[in-house]
Amino acid sequence: MKVALIAVALTILAYFFGKGIRKHSVKLYVAATILSIASLFLIDQIKIMEMFVHGYIGLSFLFIVMFTGALKKKSTISKKLMTIRKEYSILGFIFIMPHATNYVIELFSDLSKIEYWIGLTAFVIMIPLFITSFSKIRSMYKYPTWKKLHRWSYLAYTLIFVHIIIVAEPRDAIAYTVIFIPYLGLKLIKEYKIYISKKELSTP
């Protein structure tokens, strides 16, 4: 499955080149934007551009961002991924833009396609999250307000999951489910532990 393979490659990159990714983040955003725009025009000429327009590259970045939020904070892999989470979430959104643009245009010719609307809702939810991920804009918010806003990402992830299992081939839909269910499990366990520890702290 493409997304899983790309996500593994991106995890390895984050593990060994996290520092470089952070240092050159702006250059990476510019390159990602150029590549994303180019993919819309070159999809018929260059086969690999399909990976951008069909949403695989964007989703792979977003998968890592999702899983990082669900992993145990103290694990080595979580520590490594945490350092590039912001960069990957920005890159994920940039790379999902050609996909959204391509199909939003298609949606106008037939407004009845529910799977398109689900994808579009996820995408719209992600716009303010994307904008507020940039450090300069993030610093305008108090952390709890920013965090509260970013809780919307869970709704976006859930909608993305529903969107892709509707549109994917049955074999891929099973693979996406196999990935998403452990994420949901890990995330729920982590949130439950945080809830319990906060409760214990607040009880005299």
Candidates 13-21, 96-104, 139-147, 182-190; binding stretch for ligand HEM (CB under 6 A): 96-104
Non-local CB neighbours of 49 within 8 Å, separated by 6+ positions: 38, 39, 42, 43
Instruction: Out of 10, 49, 65, 126, point to the residue binding ligand HEM (CB under 6 A).
Output: 126
**CB closer to ligand HEM out of 77 and 167:** 167
Tokens, residue 120: 């579009």
Instruction: Out of 88, 95, 123, 161, point to the residue binding ligand HEM (CB under 6 A).
Output: 123
Instruction: Out of 61, 67, 95, 116, point to the residue binding ligand HEM (CB under 6 A).
Output: 116
As a whole number of angstroms, the longest Cα–Cα distance in the chain is 67
Asked if residue 107 binds ligand HEM (CB under 6 A), the reply is: yes
**CB closer to ligand HEM out of 142 and 151:** 151
Could you tell me the smallest distance in angstroms from the CB atom of residue 191 to ligand HEM? Answer: 22
Distance CA 133, CA 1 (A): 29
Measured at the CA of 27, the angle between CA 155 and CA 83, to 5 degrees, comes to 50
Distance CA 154, CA 43 (A): 31
Residue 73 carries which DSSP code? T
Total of chain residues touching ligand HEM, rule CB under 6 A? 24
**CB closer to ligand HEM out of 67 and 192:** 67
**CB closer to ligand HEM out of 65 and 160:** 160
Residues 141-200 contacting ligand HEM, CB under 6 A: 160, 163-164, 167-168, 172
Buried b / exposed e over 177-191, threshold 16 CB at 10 Å, is eebbeebeebbeeee
Instruction: Out of 95, 99, 133, 180, point to the residue binding ligand HEM (CB under 6 A).
Output: 99
Q: Are 14 and 91 in contact (CB under 8 A)?
A: no
Asked if residue 90 binds ligand HEM (CB under 6 A), the reply is: no
**CB closer to ligand HEM out of 74 and 171:** 171
The candidate with the shortest Cα–Cα distance to 94, out of 134, 66, 67, 121, is: 134
